[in-house]
Amino acid sequence: MQTHILGYPRIGSHRELKKACEQYWSGKTTLTDLLETGKNLRLQHWKIQQEAGIDLIPSNDFSYYDQVLDITLTVGAIPERYQEITSKESNTELDLYFAMARGYQKDSLDITAMEMTKWFDTNYHYIVPEFRKDQKFNLFSTKIIEEFTEAKQAGINTKPVLIGPVTYLLLGKEKESGFDKLDLAENLLPVYLEILKQLEHQGAEYIQLDEPFLTLDLNEKAKETYQWVYSEIKRQFPNLTFIVATYFDGLKDNLSLAAALPVDVLHIDLVRAPEQLEEVLSTIPWSLSLSLGLVDGRNIWKNNFDQSLVFIHKAVAALGTERVFIAPSCSLLHAPFDLDLEKNEDTLSPEIKQWLAFAKQKVQEIVILQKLASGNPDYNVLQKLAENKKAIQNRATSTLIHNQEVKKRVDATTEEDAQRNNPFNVRKEVQQEVLKLPLFPTTTIGSFPQTIEVRSWRSKFKKGELNAQQYDQLLKEETQRTIQWQEEIGIDVLVHGEFERNDMVEYFGEQLSGFTFTQNGWVQSYGSRCVKPPVIYGDVHRPHPMTVYWSEYAQSLTQKWIKGMLTGPVTILQWSFVRDDQPRSLTCKQIALAIRDEVQDLEKAGIRIIQIDEPAIREGLPLRKAEWQNYLKWAVEAFRLSASGVEDATQIHTHMCYSEFNDIIQNIADMDADVITIECSRSQMELLNAFADFKYPNEIGPGVYDIHSPRVPSKEEMVELLKKAQSVIPAQQLWVNPDCGLKTRHWEETEKALIAMVEASRELAASY
Ligand code: GLN
Ligand code: ZN
């Protein structure tokens, strides 16, 4: 029985890679410095796995930005517009790579970034490959080979990990009509074969090809492509051992397809889909080994060894030890680094800490499971089993978890609690009377730049170098400057800037009961951006108001409307590590009631516009369509529950990023927010069509510029986008705003962009 890891987190236990990338981008360090950091991290992560005793350690799971973009560069699928970057001598391969990820505004070039979207149902974002009809591929980057040889020099014969060719194609976007991206398999395959040839030549024995699309609904063409691609691969490389990795859901109706692929090992996710084991065992042919994804790669709870051993014994009984591999459910990219770094007992109590395992601990769990399953575990290992049983037992019965008041309130909620007093057309009039907003009102999504200073105040405050009063004063001054600046440039609906917030979910988690948080539990969200999800371990409620202080303060500074800023229940759920001892829907309802209390308190404090951000609604969708409506029903209801406790005159906004809306537009409408702001600029307003076709009745603010890139949009560009929007959505329904919050931007570009945005709105309004 062999152990393996599908992928290790790469950002560094102290976010070293994030810092190194950002310094390189800002020109503060050289390429050599960045490459050095990358190399050190890879080595460090390989060593952790080696020392733990893992049999097959992955390589090429490292990435400077995103593993999908890595493959795009590897196979040379470089969109035309980056040509000029390549032709410029001083630009390295990595500069091209970062330009594709982040856009490029230098040397009188102005090139937009590639699109980004969520990686399946996670909060990780990948860069979407762009495909043309006559798409050519060639081996452009040899990163994967280099990382393999680098590990070999360090004495580790790794298992290179690649996104499988079919999944890679399915992740991409057809940039013109008249072809199906799967048709490109024929052109793409030779590049994969070339990579495999070089890897084999360098001494690779195991290759992991990630094919998570095997757990999704597939059409006939995709199924045929799978069969064809994998028979070609195996035919040409009979001596390589191929592990095809599936995760995030069960194989279900694709089981016979997956089982028939002529590969050597099939990896299945037994955390998301434990029920599939029996059927898989009775389906796979003798030629196929099975990798059991036992340890949750996406959550932080300790593995239940007893339960995992039942799975292992079942598999061994059916297949024999030789044919069984054990592993985490998916790449550990989605788990934080190391629980041992959590030393602050005030934030993470020892009782809760003993229920948890991060990436490093999960690696150890895999090895312990292997030893436990292998017949005669030594004293040490048996000791670990005893400790594990104790921790699992303690969590099941802990008094920290249950709050009868919360349970009673949840039981007492009615359907009416999730209904506004009147329908939108009635509310709209009342709101217009009170708010008196112009045509094409301008606003922002909430946060303003979290500058180095702002962050340094927070860290000084945490370290005790600033007292509460000093910290509060600094934040107030920053808020005041921001309010004043928004007034000056003529924004209609102002925000306070969210300077007091470290993160849009953690900030709320810190103030809600049932949540705890970590000091170092970072996970990568996109590129160098990391998040530190709170841990929801128990029943949730709101002991005191969370945001009223800041919204009230901001409103006291201006005659204009301040928009109160909250994170919605689904997003809080989605971006936290959620307890797995009760249904997610129930935990979500508890959060919704807490947010409802906050919305009502804001209203009482005189805040007339309240935004409840729900950027994560869509990413919570189950991967299989058959399960969508069930999820959407409770998710939409949770939002409504949080939003419906107010008067008609109070305008509720919501915000979503990156979402595609076509298939859930009815549910979005059911949320019944008075105004929704959405991501739109990267897709040139394409996303708006869903709203137009649906005749979406409420108001919409399609993002008019991309805040994920430092690029400053021109006024003309935004006018063009708005005209496009206005050609499909009536002007009376339109708002003008950026794509998302501005916290990751600098003031310099923010100022220029927002001034141009206000001008764009004015120019358009003037034509009425
Ligand atoms: N209000 C949040 C902000 O502006 C929204 C961010 C988001 O949707 N991701 O930062
Ligand atoms: Zn957003």
Q: What is the pLDDT of residue 659?
A: 59
DSSP type of residue 685: T
Interatomic CA distance for residues 603 and 58, integer angstroms: 53
695: left (phi over 0), alpha (psi -120 to 50) or beta: left
Confidence of residue 661 (pLDDT cuts 50, 70, 90): confident
Q: Is the dihedral of CA 430, 434, 437, 441 positive or negative?
A: negative
**Cβ of 738 less than 6 Å from ligand 1:** no
Domain residues for 512?
405-436+503-675
Report whether 136 belongs to an annotated binding site. no
Q: Is residue 681 part of a domain?
A: no
Q: Are residues 276 and 409 in the same domain?
A: no
Task: Note the pLDDT tens digit of each residue in 689-726.
Answer: 899 999 999 999 999 999 988 899 999 999 999 999 99
Segment 192-199 mean pLDDT: 98
Characterize the bridge pairing of strands 535-541 and 513-516: antiparallel
Angle (CA) 648-650-653 rounded to 5° is: 115
Listed residues 632, 655, 675: the one ending a domain: 675
Q: Are residues 33 and 155 in the same domain?
A: yes
Closest CA to 588 of 605, 601, 606, 570: 570
Q: pLDDT > 90: what percent of the chain?
A: 92
Interatomic CA distance for residues 471 and 488, integer angstroms: 26
Q: Are residues 320 and 392 in the same domain?
A: yes
Q: Which atom of ligand 1 is nearest to the CA of 565?
A: 1
Q: Is residue 627 part of a domain?
A: yes
Q: What residues pair up with 114 in beta bridges, in sequence order?
A: none
Q: Are residues 192 and 312 in the same domain?
A: yes
In the predicted structure, residue 683 carries a pLDDT above the cut 80: no
Which residues lie below 8 Å from residue 339, measured CB to CB, with a gap of 6+?
A: 353, 356, 357, 358, 360, 361
- Three-state secondary structure along 653-677? EEEECCCCCHHHHHHHHHHCCCEEE
Q: Are residues 296 and 418 in the same domain?
A: no
The ipTM of this complex is 0.99
**Cβ of 566 less than 6 Å from ligand 1:** no
The tally of domains found in the chain comes to: 3
Closest CA to 699 of 520, 472, 435, 459: 435
Q: Are residues 393 and 511 in the same domain?
A: no
**Cβ of 614 less than 6 Å from ligand 1:** no
Residue nearest to atom 4 of ligand 1 (CA): 741
Q: Which atom of ligand 1 is nearest to the CA of 444?
A: 4
Q: Which atom of ligand 1 is nearest to the CA of 657?
A: 8
Distance 444 CA to ligand 1 centre (A): 9
Query: What are the tokens at 551?
Result: 């919204």
Distance 531 CA to ligand 1 centre (A): 13
Characterize the bridge pairing of strands 2-3 and 324-328: parallel
Mean pLDDT, the chain, rounded, equals 96
Q: Are residues 538 and 597 in the same domain?
A: yes
Q: Are residues 165 and 293 in the same domain?
A: yes
In the predicted structure, residue 685 carries a pLDDT above the cut 90: no
Interatomic CA distance for residues 30 and 20, integer angstroms: 10
**Cβ of 657 less than 6 Å from ligand 1:** yes
* Per-position DSSP letters for 529-569, written without gaps between them: EEE---EEEEEEE-SS-SSHHHHHHHHHT-SSEEEEEEE-H
Q: Is residue 158 part of a domain?
A: yes
Among candidate residues 402, 541, 708, 746, the one labeled active-site is 708
Phi, psi for 741 (deg, rounded to 5): -65, 160
Q: Is residue 99 part of a domain?
A: yes
Q: Is the dihedral of CA 94, 95, 96, 99 positive or negative?
A: positive
Residue nearest to atom 8 of ligand 1 (CA): 615
Rg of the chain, C-alpha, whole Å: 26
Angle (CA) 78-80-81 rounded to 5° is: 105
Closest CA to 753 of 767, 765, 763, 742: 742
Q: Is residue 727 part of a domain?
A: no
Q: Are residues 243 and 167 in the same domain?
A: yes
Exposed (0-12), middle (13-18) or buried (19+): which is 545, by Cβ within 10 Å? middle
Report whether 657 belongs to an annotated binding site. yes
Segment 217-238 mean pLDDT: 98
Residue nearest to atom 6 of ligand 1 (CA): 741
Distance 688 CA to ligand 1 centre (A): 20
Report the run of H or E that residue 285 belongs to, with start and end. none
Interatomic CA distance for residues 224 and 637, integer angstroms: 40
- Whether 625 contacts 632, CB under 8 Å: no
Task: Note the pLDDT tens digit of each residue in 103-158.
Answer: 998 888 899 999 998 899 998 999 999 999 999 999 999 999 999 999 999 999 99
Report whether 21 belongs to an annotated binding site. no
Please tell me the pTM assigned to this model. Answer: 0.91
Q: Is residue 448 part of a domain?
A: no
Confidence of residue 466 (pLDDT cuts 50, 70, 90): very high
Q: Is residue 331 part of a domain?
A: yes
Q: Are residues 644 and 624 in the same domain?
A: yes
In the predicted structure, residue 575 carries a pLDDT above the cut 80: yes
Report whether 10 belongs to an annotated binding site. no
Q: Is residue 694 part of a domain?
A: no
Q: What is the pLDDT of residue 86?
A: 84
Q: Are residues 217 and 249 in the same domain?
A: yes
CATH number of the domain to which 310 belongs? 3.20.20.210
Segment 174-185 mean pLDDT: 97
Q: Is 267 a catalytic residue?
A: no
Q: What is the pLDDT of residue 688?
A: 86
Q: Are residues 30 and 147 in the same domain?
A: yes
